[in-house]
Structure 1
């Protein structure tokens, strides 16, 4: 892959031009990563709103009609529904791990198979999240297995 960087005049908006035959999955992920790098999440604790970088999120979980954002040490509530978060972040490192969980692959430390075709993901913060057997093929595809 050839990369060319050109300086633009002062005040001009930066521009990225891609020339390719057919964009593959890795190129689409790169495009999504560039587009979403400035995107932030809003999480709430009590009456405070917090701006959260999606890279800091370990997983999203729906519990009792509420959606929570789990980061390294803190948990925030989201106003978005789980399916909205899934649509917003499906092209990045996030994937649906179960009916109630969207998991960040970048935060997985290790994976272990458990009963009935499910997997257990040990996250970098020590938490364990289960991946339902119906979502294991999605995980394998995201990991390139």
Structure 2
């Protein structure tokens, strides 16, 4: 694998571009390492907590309120779904339904469900449903 560093002027935004034939475990690990510093603010009982993106299992909208789900804890968020999706762009997160974004790195297993949907079981044993219109995205994210 070839590595190239390009110095730019300070008025240009910094970015990292990964060019690859497919997303291998090695590349996914590098991306996760690079993105490890990105944080999202979650709220619990009036206190703000900075949450690493890599610790988030999924982001969901329920009754017009946003929630961030980690391994054991649930936090409220002031972000809209599209804002979280924009923050998570280029990471292992993918849209799973109109109100749900899942971290593909936290998936333990997948099985087909009713009507072309898929059931995703996360590492913390929580079960989520991927809508049939997003199954193709799921398959792409995990390399099926």
Unpaired runs of 5+ residues, structure 2, are 6-13
SS in structure 2 of the partner of residue 80 of structure 1: coil
Structure-1-length-normalised TM-score: 0.79
Specify the structure having the higher radius of gyration (Cα): 1
* Counterpart residue number, 1:121: 120
**Which deviations, in whole Å up to 9, do the C-alpha atoms of 1:77-104 show, x marking residues without a partner?**
0111011111111311100001110001
User: Map of 1:7-86 to 2, 5 A cutoff?
Assistant: 23-24=19-20, 26=23, 33=32, 36-86=35-85
Following superposition, which runs of at least 4 residues in structure 1 exceed 2 angstroms of deviation? 2-5, 15-18, 23-37
Q: Report the TM-score when normalising by structure 2.
A: 0.80
- Is the CA contact (8 Å cut-off) linking 1:41 and 1:54 kept in structure 2? yes
RMSD: 3.0
Corresponding residue for residue 98 of structure 2: 99
Report the alpha carbon displacement of residue 35 of structure 1 after superposing the two structures with TM. Answer: 5.4
CA displacement at 1:36 relative to structure 2: 3.0
